[in-house]
Amino acid sequence: MTKKAGQSIVILTGSGISAESGLPTFRGSDGLWQGRRVEEVATPEAFEREPLLVQQFYNLRRAALQRVEPNAAHLALAALEREWPGEYLLITQNVDDLHFRAGSRRLLSIHGELRRARCLSCGADTPWMEDLTPDSSCPRCHEVGKLRPHIVWFGEAPMHMDQCLDALSQADLFVAIGTSGKVYPAASFVDFVASRPGTRRLELNQEATGNPRFNEVRIGPATETVQALVAELLA
């Protein structure tokens, strides 16, 4: 596949692409938080039971965004978006804002965004940079204590699925970067793409998922593998 071919690329990223910026992955050795797995904190039930604890989990992550910068892998994908002559879509499971800050714009955040809050009362979805607390009030309806992180929790429907499936159904190249392939539906994107004959399905990861639907796997840190891939595609 060359730049001149102008074919369609869909990229899926997971927390591994942000690891070299200093953000922990979810299932790595530093992935536990106060001894809890993400599956125990990132649920509507956990928020109902222990709202303060869940707010704190996301407050820490939101605050951490002020101390990190996009890395070479985020920047390389933004350059690919700018220079690729065909269709291009970046789908991220990440709730950080590093793709956006790197310059990616054809970007869908299917698990939501740390720097947004949603009101359980009026449904407003607004930018939010501070900590969320039980005293936070909705900028639109002004109700207090109704804001929640704009994050898709386990058991909730991911966002933008129609647009994702549209793009995936036309992809000539699908690349999954830095994701363990444990969380659906993103984990099944490669199966969906595999039903289209001739699609190149590439995994870039620190540890291979072992999913046989990928027809090419490159192991290494994302800053190296993504820069190398983008250079090849734009050569």
As annotated, the active-site residues are 111
Give min distance, CB of 2 to ligand OAD, in A: 25
Instruction: Identify which range of 10-18, 115-123, 131-139, 168-176 contacts ligand OAD by CB under 6 A.
Output: 10-18
Residue of 7, 8, 21, 93 that binds ligand OAD (CB under 6 A):
93
Give min distance, CB of 154 to ligand OAD, in A: 7
Q: Which residues contact 216 (CB under 8 A, 6 or more apart)?
A: 200, 201, 202, 203
Residue of 7, 8, 15, 136 that binds ligand OAD (CB under 6 A):
15
| Nearer to ligand OAD (CB atom), residue 40 or residue 143 | 40
Residue of 6, 22, 30, 31 that binds ligand OAD (CB under 6 A):
31
C-alpha distance across the termini of the chain, in Å: 10
**99 near ligand OAD (CB under 6 A):** no
Q: Are strands 112-119 and 147-151 parallel, antiparallel or unpaired?
A: antiparallel
Give min distance, CB of 24 to ligand OAD, in A: 8
Sign of CA dihedral 134, 147, 96, 103: negative
Give min distance, CB of 86 to ligand OAD, in A: 25
Residue of 20, 97, 113, 203 that binds ligand OAD (CB under 6 A):
20
Size of the site for ligand OAD (CB under 6 A): 25
Burial code (b: 16+ CB inside 10 Å, e: under 16) for 170-209 equals ebbbbbbbbbbbebeebbebbebbbeeeebbbbbbbbeeb
By beta carbon distance, the residue nearest ligand OAD is 16
Instruction: Identify which range of 11-19, 51-59, 60-68, 128-136 contacts ligand OAD by CB under 6 A.
Output: 11-19
What residues from 32 to 91 belong to the interface with ligand OAD (CB under 6 A)? 38, 42
User: HSE on the CB side for 75, CA within 13 Å?
Assistant: 9
Query: Interface with ligand OAD by CB under 6 A: which residues?
Result: 14-16, 19-20, 25-28, 31, 38, 42, 93, 111, 152, 178-180, 182-183, 205-207, 221-222
